[in-house]
A and B are shown apart, each in its own frame.
Chain A
Amino acid sequence: MTLAPPAISFQDVAQVFATKSGPLTALGGVNLEVAQHEFVAVLGPSGCGKSTLLRLTSGLMMPSAGQITVLGLPVTRPREDVGIVFQQPTLLPWASVEENVVFPVKHTKGRVGPAHRDRAREILETVGLGGFGKRLPGELSGGMQQRVGIARALFLNPDLLMMDEPFSALDALTRDEMGYELLRLWQASPKTVMFITHSIPEAVLLADRVLVMSERPGRVIADLKVPLGRPRSEESLRAPEVQEFAAHLRSLLIKPAKPSPKPEAA
Chain B
Amino acid sequence: MTAIPDTSDTAPAPSKAAQAGAPQIKPPLRERLIETPALLPGLTFLLVLILWETLTRAFQVPTYVLPPPSRIVEGFGAVSFARWAEHVWSTFRVAMLGYVVAIAVSLPIAIGLAKSRFLTRCLYPLLVVIQSVPVVAVAPIIIVVLGTDDAPRVVITFMISFFPLVVSMTTGLMATPPELIELSRSLNAPAYREFTQIRIPYALPYIFSGLKISITLSVIGAVVAEFVAADAGLGYFIQFSTSMFKLPQAWAGLFLLVALSLLLFQIVTQIQKRLFPWSLPKETR
Contact = CB atoms under 8 A, between A and B. Distances in A.
Given A107-B197, A128-B4, A84 B188 contact: no
B272 interface: no
B278 A94 contact: yes
Given A60-B185, A141-B10, A144-B6, A94 B1 contact: no
A88 B5 contact: no
A219 B177 CA distance: 28
Interface stretch (A35-43, A170-178, A234-242): A170-178
A179 interface: no
Given A84-B183, A144-B6, A177-B4, A107 B278 contact: no
Contacts of A177: 4, 6, 8
Given A58-B186, A86-B183, A107-B184, A93 B278 contact: yes
A127 interface: yes
Contact of A78 (B180, B185, B193): B185
Contacts of A143: 6, 8-9
Given A88-B179, A126-B3, A184-B1, A138 B278 contact: yes
B44 to A, nearest CB: 35
Contacts of B198: 92
A135 to B, nearest CB: 12
Interface in B66-89: none
Given A143-B8, A143-B9, A147-B6, A77 B188 contact: yes
Interface residues of B, number: 27
A174 B201 CA distance: 31
Interface string A2-21: 00000000000000000000
B279 A94 contact: yes
Interface string B1-26: 10111101110000000000000000
Contact of B186 (A82, A136, A147): A82
Contacts of A108: 187-190
Nearest to B278: A94
Contacts of B31: none
A119 B183 CA distance: 20
Interface string A126-151: 11111000001010111110010000
Contacts of A129: 3
Nearest to A143: B6
B283 interface: no
A177 B276 CA distance: 35
Contacts of A80: 187-188
Contact of A60 (B186, B197, B276): B186
A60 B187 contact: no
Interface in B166-186: 177, 179-180, 182-186
Contacts of B4: 128, 177, 181
A179 to B, nearest CB: 12
Contacts of B190: 108
Contact of B188 (A78, A130, A180, A181): A78
B180 A107 contact: no
A136 B201 CA distance: 15
Q: Which of B183, B198, B279 has the most CB of A within 10 A?
A: B183
B182 A84 contact: yes
A232 interface: no
Contacts of A103: 183, 197
A90 interface: yes
A107 to B, nearest CB: 4
A256 interface: no
A60 B184 CA distance: 10
B276 to A, nearest CB: 7
Interface string A178-201: 001100100000000000000000
B10 A144 contact: yes
A47 to B, nearest CB: 17
A116 interface: no
B278 A78 contact: no
Contacts of A106: 197
B203 to A, nearest CB: 12
Contacts of B184: 107
A118 interface: no
Interface of B: 1, 3-6, 8-10, 177, 179-180, 182-190, 193, 197-198, 201, 276, 278-279
Given A80-B188, A107-B197, 20 more contacts: A55-B182, A58-B186, A60-B182, A77-B188, A78-B186, A78-B187, A90-B180, A94-B276, A104-B187, A107-B184, A107-B193, A127-B3, A128-B3, A128-B5, A130-B3, A138-B278, A140-B10, A143-B6, A174-B9, A177-B8
7 contacts: A60-B182, A78-B185, A78-B186, A86-B179, A107-B193, A108-B190, A128-B3
Interface of A: 55, 58-60, 77-78, 80, 82, 84, 86-88, 90, 92-94, 103-104, 106-108, 110, 125-130, 136, 138, 140-144, 147, 170-171, 173-174, 177, 180-181, 184
